[in-house]
Structure 1
Amino acid sequence: MDVLQPNEKVIVSGISRMQENFDYSMTELKNLAAANNYDVVGEIRQNLDRSLAGTYFGAGKLDEIKELALANDATRLIVNDELSPSQLRNIEKGVGVKVSDRTQLILDIFATRARSKTAITQVEIAQLQYALPRLHPSANKLDQQGGGGGLANRGAGETKLEMDRRVLNKRIAKLRRDLKEADVGAEVRRAKREENRIPVVALVGYTNAGKSTTMNGLLERYADHPETKTVFEKDMLFATLDTSVRQLTLPDNRKFLLSDTVGFVSKLPHQLVDSFKATLAEAANADLLIQVVDYADPHYPEMMAITEKTLKDIGIENIPMIMAYNKADLRDATLFPQVDGDNIVYSARDDKSLAALIELITKHIYADHETHTYLVPFDQGQIVDYMQRETAVASTDYVEAGTKLVATVDPIQAGKLKKYQVED
């Protein structure tokens, strides 16, 4: 029988640096550690205006961390910022345990969660970009040989370091080429959707805000065979990294595409922001964004600010957005669903909430649709078939001159059907 290995015991730590949201950032760091299956056994904070260039913490604080680690059998320290290579090495020497910074922790979580080839490639690029400046001769066996070789050995170590960097750069270049090839296929699919004029709606927001739950709720109501199309959902940070795109068909036969994107987090590593731009292209090309917010979390305003900053950082701006305040069922004395302009308070697990959300979505994506009356001669049944299949037909009547239909159409459909339009 397999014996379950105990989770690694870790201490989380950080420097306030007068950060307005420092408390929340440290809470989030503990949640990230738990998401990576670490057991958080202690926390150390230091109030400093800025971190020390060489050791990040002050000398006294390093001693305090060392004592706390010994007392709690901790084998790793996690620091709430991205550390320089020298800071990493110096802290490890000072505290006597392994050290990970926030960036490495998030990269580790992403590496564990990546499932699709594209996500795996994106995460590997980010990991290699993070590792590149942290290569050090002391990590190379050639640099650690004893004896009288002195300068010769040091030179060999430096040569090995340069070789390692070349290998990493070549690997990054190859992975980027692979990603570019994958992007071509995605671009073709997006172009085809644009040609067919199917509106695209993208769910964005903080990790674990309920984007996947919202998507699955809508799929169960409006997708054909939803049991084969639902996306993975779990109450955990970064449950999924892949963008999922699904088609929804409303009762009036109008269709749109809904995409579920990777969640955001504060201090999202710039390596990941760069590599995941391709994944977030669905959001960049959307007709409408829905920012899903965990309304039950007291820190939701910070989460919203971070989401909007991240969207701006990756170049997603000037797209209409619905603010969707989810998990209202977990918030005391909160009525839902409530709609006020482009804001909705709802629960992704409530049918009335999902109906209200759909109504809000349709007001946006079908704003340019028009309703007209059409008269199609009986010998042009293919036009009637097209309208019943592709447009929102409100009524059908058979008159002496042909089939009379009242239908709501998009601008392209309106152009195709203009010859059949009659006075309303």
Structure 2
Amino acid sequence: MTSPVHYVTVTAPDGEVVGYAWGDATEVEWMHRKASSPSAYKAGLEWYTKVREAHERGLTPLGVLGLLSHEPGVGPVTEAPDVAALEELARVVTPADDRRLLAQLDRDDAEAWQELADAFDALTDDDRDVQWGGGTKSPSGAIHVPFPRYSEALQRAVHALRGVGAVTPEYRWRHSPLPQAPPEGGLRPADAMRAATAVVSAERMSDGEIAEAVANGLLDAIATSLRAWYADPSAEEQLKADAPPTDRPHADPGTSAAAHPQPPAHPQPLAPPMCRFCGGSPAADVTFRAHRGLVILMGFRKTDGPMCMTCGLAVHRALTAHTLAWGWWSPLSLFLFAPLTLVRNLLAVRKVNRLPAPGPGTLGPRYDPGLPVHRRPRAYVALVPVLWVLFMIVTGLSGGV
């Protein structure tokens, strides 16, 4: 029986979806997006480390996702029916993925494209009938590993694919299945690049990949698709026109679009904002400040972010008591910065006081508000400058009589 999981979508600054951090009741994991660029994959490795480090701090899986959701480029915590649904989402190919691959083709190199056409037009049935060598036993008893014998014409055709840029490191072929030649119709240009990259690159690791692509018609389908793309520039423009304003995922060719779950158009957080300290909710976005005046030097400090009633009250009391004790010991602090800081803290704490008691925290222990400000002895240090100012005023008025 499957169970729901929660996840956050991580997006790069350029808008590309890097991957998904997800968690169930006990574990939190990272899932790369299959069609992402190499740079996004590298960024995903860093996010994997970040996810594991957060979990090792003792946070619950939902607490980790809630913490990550406040970082730039990370979406809200969202629910998926199960891990399989999230895996389907990670396999979705976007129009931006296609455009990124097609940008690797060198349309301006007319000579390379002519070479591609000439090389494939020159292939004969004998070239496509790849023979194998090796596989025989030597006098010493060793067996030679079988290997394909590619004709010079076929090698020329494969080299021509490289010449136009169809074999590109922008496609992470090891993480995706090899595209197949469609029984009817041609490959989409971006899929032709995926197939070319996978076939040519895999040949270096496993002899016979090119031979198989020749036998099943995939290699010819690749060339046909790329030549049609080069001959008709409007195909590229049509791809751009078909792209939505934001790169919403679409299904791979030959599969049902309904099989790929679409992310919500306006995903909603599962809960109100969480406190940045304890993870409890509800929380209010507030800023508390502290000021310190030291004759001619001054110090400023602030703590901001979503805070629950308990943690917010604790921060307010700590920073306000600090200001009352140390915020007066310079002329500007006495008459401007310290009073302004206290007033701003009073306005901020009103938002916190209106919150109900927070629910259970998910990020860690909740702050202890401690004693109210008026019951903290050091807060009464503020009476010293106040009494001094009053003394100076009374003395001045008495001297003027």
TM-score range, shorter chain: under 0.3
TM normalised by structure 1 equals 0.23
Q: Larger relative contact order (C-alpha < 8 A, sep ≥ 6)?
A: 2
Greater C-alpha radius of gyration: 2
Which structure carries more strand by proportion? 1
